[in-house]
Amino acid sequence: LGGGFHHCSSDKGGGFCAYADITLAIKFLFERVQGVSKATIIDLDAHQGNGHERDFMDDHRVYIMDAYNRYIYPGDGIAKRAIKRKVELEWGTEDTEYLQKVHTHVEGALNELKPDIIVYNAGTDILDGDPLGGLAISPQGIVKRDEVVFKAARSRRIPILMVTSGGYQKRTARIIADSIINLHNLGLIDKELATSGAGNPKVEQMIRDSAKDISKLS
Protein backbone atom coordinates (compact mmCIF):
# COMPACT_ATOMS: atom_id res chain seq x y z
CA LEU A 1 0.00 0.00 0.00
CA GLY A 2 1.87 3.01 -1.29
CA GLY A 3 4.43 3.89 -3.92
CA GLY A 4 3.79 5.31 -7.34
CA PHE A 5 6.15 8.30 -7.23
CA HIS A 6 5.63 9.02 -10.89
CA HIS A 7 6.91 12.62 -11.00
CA CYS A 8 10.44 11.58 -10.03
CA SER A 9 12.84 10.61 -12.81
CA SER A 10 16.27 9.07 -12.45
CA ASP A 11 17.89 12.51 -12.06
CA LYS A 12 15.21 14.83 -10.65
CA GLY A 13 12.47 14.79 -8.02
CA GLY A 14 9.17 16.63 -8.19
CA GLY A 15 5.52 16.72 -7.14
CA PHE A 16 5.95 15.12 -3.65
CA CYS A 17 8.08 12.36 -5.27
CA ALA A 18 11.61 11.80 -3.94
CA TYR A 19 12.68 8.63 -5.75
CA ALA A 20 11.71 6.95 -9.00
CA ASP A 21 10.22 3.70 -7.71
CA ILE A 22 8.44 2.79 -10.96
CA THR A 23 11.62 3.21 -12.98
CA LEU A 24 13.66 1.31 -10.40
CA ALA A 25 11.20 -1.60 -10.29
CA ILE A 26 11.14 -2.02 -14.06
CA LYS A 27 14.91 -1.70 -14.46
CA PHE A 28 15.43 -4.23 -11.66
CA LEU A 29 13.12 -6.71 -13.40
CA PHE A 30 14.79 -6.22 -16.78
CA GLU A 31 18.27 -6.70 -15.36
CA ARG A 32 17.70 -9.46 -12.81
CA VAL A 33 14.61 -11.49 -13.66
CA GLN A 34 14.87 -13.90 -16.55
CA GLY A 35 11.99 -13.70 -19.00
CA VAL A 36 11.02 -10.11 -18.23
CA SER A 37 11.97 -7.97 -21.21
CA LYS A 38 8.84 -5.87 -21.89
CA ALA A 39 6.76 -3.77 -19.51
CA THR A 40 3.59 -1.71 -19.76
CA ILE A 41 2.92 1.19 -17.41
CA ILE A 42 -0.78 1.98 -16.99
CA ASP A 43 -0.83 5.34 -15.22
CA LEU A 44 -4.32 6.33 -14.03
CA ASP A 45 -3.35 8.91 -11.43
CA ALA A 46 -5.00 12.29 -12.12
CA HIS A 47 -1.59 13.77 -13.00
CA GLN A 48 0.69 13.02 -15.94
CA GLY A 49 3.44 10.57 -14.96
CA ASN A 50 6.31 12.61 -16.32
CA GLY A 51 9.03 10.96 -14.23
CA HIS A 52 8.87 7.46 -15.67
CA GLU A 53 8.07 8.96 -19.09
CA ARG A 54 11.35 10.85 -19.13
CA ASP A 55 13.24 7.77 -17.94
CA PHE A 56 11.85 5.50 -20.68
CA MET A 57 11.65 8.11 -23.45
CA ASP A 58 13.75 6.08 -25.89
CA ASP A 59 13.28 2.61 -24.42
CA HIS A 60 11.09 0.57 -26.75
CA ARG A 61 10.78 -2.19 -24.13
CA VAL A 62 8.41 0.02 -22.11
CA TYR A 63 4.91 0.93 -23.33
CA ILE A 64 3.23 3.80 -21.47
CA MET A 65 -0.49 4.51 -21.26
CA ASP A 66 -1.32 7.66 -19.31
CA ALA A 67 -4.80 9.11 -18.55
CA TYR A 68 -4.74 12.44 -16.72
CA ASN A 69 -6.34 15.86 -16.28
CA ARG A 70 -4.77 17.83 -19.10
CA TYR A 71 -4.88 21.15 -17.21
CA ILE A 72 -2.98 20.35 -14.01
CA TYR A 73 0.62 19.69 -12.90
CA PRO A 74 3.07 18.87 -14.43
CA GLY A 75 2.18 19.70 -18.05
CA ASP A 76 5.48 18.24 -19.20
CA GLY A 77 5.42 18.45 -22.99
CA ILE A 78 8.78 16.75 -23.45
CA ALA A 79 7.73 13.77 -21.32
CA LYS A 80 4.49 13.42 -23.27
CA ARG A 81 6.51 12.24 -26.27
CA ALA A 82 7.11 8.96 -24.41
CA ILE A 83 3.39 8.20 -24.03
CA LYS A 84 2.21 5.56 -26.50
CA ARG A 85 -1.46 5.92 -25.52
CA LYS A 86 -2.34 9.37 -24.23
CA VAL A 87 -5.78 10.05 -22.70
CA GLU A 88 -6.15 13.73 -21.81
CA LEU A 89 -9.19 14.39 -19.63
CA GLU A 90 -11.25 17.54 -19.06
CA TRP A 91 -12.03 19.19 -15.71
CA GLY A 92 -14.78 17.37 -13.83
CA THR A 93 -14.77 14.18 -15.91
CA GLU A 94 -17.31 11.75 -14.36
CA ASP A 95 -17.69 7.97 -14.07
CA THR A 96 -19.40 7.01 -17.32
CA GLU A 97 -17.00 8.79 -19.66
CA TYR A 98 -13.98 7.93 -17.55
CA LEU A 99 -14.65 4.21 -17.24
CA GLN A 100 -15.44 3.90 -20.95
CA LYS A 101 -12.10 5.53 -21.80
CA VAL A 102 -10.19 3.42 -19.29
CA HIS A 103 -11.69 0.21 -20.63
CA THR A 104 -11.09 1.12 -24.28
CA HIS A 105 -7.52 2.26 -23.82
CA VAL A 106 -6.39 -0.45 -21.40
CA GLU A 107 -7.65 -3.09 -23.81
CA GLY A 108 -6.06 -1.25 -26.72
CA ALA A 109 -2.72 -0.89 -24.96
CA LEU A 110 -2.52 -4.56 -24.02
CA ASN A 111 -3.60 -5.62 -27.51
CA GLU A 112 -0.82 -3.54 -29.08
CA LEU A 113 1.88 -5.07 -26.92
CA LYS A 114 1.63 -8.04 -24.58
CA PRO A 115 4.13 -7.22 -21.84
CA ASP A 116 5.81 -9.52 -19.34
CA ILE A 117 4.72 -7.22 -16.49
CA ILE A 118 2.18 -4.43 -15.95
CA VAL A 119 2.94 -1.62 -13.51
CA TYR A 120 -0.38 -0.03 -12.59
CA ASN A 121 -0.24 3.44 -11.04
CA ALA A 122 -3.64 3.56 -9.34
CA GLY A 123 -3.98 7.10 -8.02
CA THR A 124 -7.13 7.95 -6.07
CA ASP A 125 -6.74 11.68 -6.71
CA ILE A 126 -9.31 11.20 -9.47
CA LEU A 127 -11.92 11.13 -6.66
CA ASP A 128 -14.60 13.83 -6.71
CA GLY A 129 -13.55 16.60 -4.33
CA ASP A 130 -9.82 15.91 -4.45
CA PRO A 131 -8.09 19.29 -4.05
CA LEU A 132 -5.41 18.54 -6.64
CA GLY A 133 -6.96 16.15 -9.19
CA GLY A 134 -9.82 18.20 -10.63
CA LEU A 135 -11.82 15.16 -11.74
CA ALA A 136 -15.15 13.88 -10.38
CA ILE A 137 -14.98 10.09 -10.10
CA SER A 138 -17.09 8.38 -7.43
CA PRO A 139 -15.75 5.83 -4.93
CA GLN A 140 -17.63 3.13 -6.87
CA GLY A 141 -16.00 4.38 -10.06
CA ILE A 142 -12.54 3.93 -8.57
CA VAL A 143 -13.34 0.38 -7.45
CA LYS A 144 -14.64 -0.40 -10.94
CA ARG A 145 -11.59 1.18 -12.59
CA ASP A 146 -9.24 -1.10 -10.67
CA GLU A 147 -11.42 -4.08 -11.56
CA VAL A 148 -11.22 -3.20 -15.28
CA VAL A 149 -7.41 -3.11 -15.17
CA PHE A 150 -7.04 -6.33 -13.19
CA LYS A 151 -9.52 -8.20 -15.38
CA ALA A 152 -7.60 -7.15 -18.49
CA ALA A 153 -4.36 -8.38 -16.94
CA ARG A 154 -5.87 -11.66 -15.73
CA SER A 155 -7.51 -12.46 -19.08
CA ARG A 156 -4.07 -12.23 -20.70
CA ARG A 157 -2.23 -13.94 -17.82
CA ILE A 158 0.05 -10.95 -17.27
CA PRO A 159 1.47 -10.31 -13.78
CA ILE A 160 0.53 -6.90 -12.38
CA LEU A 161 2.15 -4.64 -9.80
CA MET A 162 -0.22 -2.02 -8.36
CA VAL A 163 1.01 1.12 -6.59
CA THR A 164 -1.48 3.52 -5.04
CA SER A 165 0.12 6.90 -5.90
CA GLY A 166 -1.76 10.18 -5.32
CA GLY A 167 -4.91 10.80 -3.27
CA TYR A 168 -5.41 13.78 -0.99
CA GLN A 169 -8.55 13.07 1.02
CA LYS A 170 -8.79 10.93 4.16
CA ARG A 171 -11.58 8.82 2.65
CA THR A 172 -9.25 7.50 -0.05
CA ALA A 173 -7.88 4.92 2.42
CA ARG A 174 -11.34 3.36 2.76
CA ILE A 175 -11.78 3.32 -1.03
CA ILE A 176 -8.42 1.61 -1.57
CA ALA A 177 -9.41 -1.02 1.01
CA ASP A 178 -12.80 -1.54 -0.65
CA SER A 179 -11.10 -1.97 -4.02
CA ILE A 180 -8.64 -4.55 -2.70
CA ILE A 181 -11.46 -6.49 -1.06
CA ASN A 182 -13.39 -6.41 -4.34
CA LEU A 183 -10.37 -7.64 -6.32
CA HIS A 184 -9.81 -10.39 -3.78
CA ASN A 185 -13.45 -11.51 -3.82
CA LEU A 186 -13.44 -11.63 -7.62
CA GLY A 187 -10.35 -13.85 -7.57
CA LEU A 188 -8.25 -11.22 -9.33
CA ILE A 189 -5.53 -11.07 -6.67
CA ASP A 190 -3.96 -14.05 -4.95
CA LYS A 191 -6.18 -16.48 -6.83
CA GLU A 192 -5.37 -19.49 -4.63
CA LEU A 193 -6.41 -17.60 -1.51
CA ALA A 194 -9.43 -16.09 -3.25
CA THR A 195 -10.81 -19.39 -4.53
CA SER A 196 -10.38 -21.10 -1.17
CA GLY A 197 -11.74 -18.28 0.95
CA ALA A 198 -13.46 -15.51 -0.98
CA GLY A 199 -15.21 -13.27 1.49
CA ASN A 200 -13.00 -14.55 4.32
CA PRO A 201 -13.86 -12.19 7.21
CA LYS A 202 -10.34 -12.38 8.65
CA VAL A 203 -8.83 -11.21 5.36
CA GLU A 204 -11.38 -8.42 5.02
CA GLN A 205 -10.81 -7.29 8.62
CA MET A 206 -7.05 -7.23 8.05
CA ILE A 207 -7.52 -4.92 5.05
CA ARG A 208 -9.93 -2.69 6.97
CA ASP A 209 -7.43 -2.41 9.85
CA SER A 210 -4.75 -1.38 7.36
CA ALA A 211 -7.07 1.28 5.97
CA LYS A 212 -7.65 2.67 9.48
CA ASP A 213 -3.89 2.88 10.02
CA ILE A 214 -3.49 4.80 6.76
CA SER A 215 -6.30 7.18 7.77
CA LYS A 216 -4.46 7.98 11.01
CA LEU A 217 -1.36 8.92 9.03
CA SER A 218 -3.46 11.27 6.88
Query: What does the pLDDT look like over 41-77, one tens digit per residue?
Result: 999 999 999 999 999 999 999 999 999 999 999 999 9
Confidence of residue 218 (pLDDT cuts 50, 70, 90): very low
Give the number of residues written for the chain.
Answer: 218
Q: What is the Cβ-side half-sphere exposure of residue 155, based on CA atoms within 13 angstroms? A: 10
Rounded Cα–Cα distance for residues 64 and 61 (Å): 10
What average pLDDT does the chain have?
91
The one-character DSSP state at 84 is S
pLDDT at site 198:
47
Catalytic residue among 7, 47, 105, 184: 7
Mean per-residue pLDDT for 16-35?
A: 95
Mean per-residue pLDDT for 142-149?
A: 98
Residue 199 has pLDDT above 90, yes or no: no
Provide the 10 A C-beta neighbour count for residue 200: 14
Rounded Cα–Cα distance for residues 52 and 54 (Å): 5
Mean per-residue pLDDT for 31-49?
A: 97
Mean per-residue pLDDT for 99-124?
A: 97
Confidence of residue 2 (pLDDT cuts 50, 70, 90): confident
Mean per-residue pLDDT for 89-110?
A: 98
The runs of H, that is alpha helices, within the chain are 21-32, 50-55, 77-80, 95-112, 139-155, 172-185, 191-197, 201-217
Task: Determine the residue type at 143.
Answer: V
Mean per-residue pLDDT for 149-166?
A: 96
Confidence of residue 208 (pLDDT cuts 50, 70, 90): low
pTM score, whole prediction: 0.88
pLDDT at site 211:
59
pLDDT at site 214:
52
Q: Is there a catalytic annotation at residue 7?
A: yes
CA 183 to mean position of chain CA atoms = 14
Greatest CA span in the chain, whole angstroms?
Answer: 48
pLDDT at site 201:
62
pLDDT at site 193:
47
Rounded Cα–Cα distance for residues 206 and 45 (Å): 26
Query: For residues 118 and 159, is the Cβ–Cβ distance under 8 A?
Result: yes
Q: What is the assigned CATH class of domain 21-215?
A: alpha beta
Coil vs helix vs strand at 35: coil
| Radius of gyration from C-alpha coordinates of the chain | 16
- Looking at the chain, the whole-number percentage of residues with pLDDT higher than 90 is 83
